[in-house]
Amino acid sequence: MSFHKSKKWKEKRKAILRRDEYLCRECRRYGRTRLATTVHHIIPIDQRPDLALASKNLISLCTECHNKMHDRDSGELTELGKRWAEKVSPLP
């Protein structure tokens, strides 16, 4: 079973959406209110699997902002994604 289909992830995802009041954290930084539909791993799971369920590594995002965090072609974090990651733990 994949991580994103696991019971632990589904429960954590719900808890993070509740914590963030179902609002996009990136939009809120700019005074906008937009419904969050995704819980984003600030530092990707493939880089830090130990942070997969760490609340400090998870934020609620709308689809538009989530797409701004990753380069969808390469899978790498964008500059915006890297700025969020630096808040959690400086990347090498």
Query: Does residue 58 carry a pLDDT above 70?
Result: yes
pLDDT band of residue 92 (cuts 50, 70, 90) is very low
Sign of CA dihedral 81, 83, 84, 85: positive
Cα–Cα distance, 48 to 65 (Å, whole number):
22
Query: Does residue 1 carry a pLDDT above 80?
Result: no
pLDDT digit string, tens, across residues 9-47? 999 999 999 999 999 999 999 999 999 999 999 999 989
Sign of CA dihedral 54, 60, 63, 65: negative
What is the rounded average pLDDT for all residues in the chain? 92
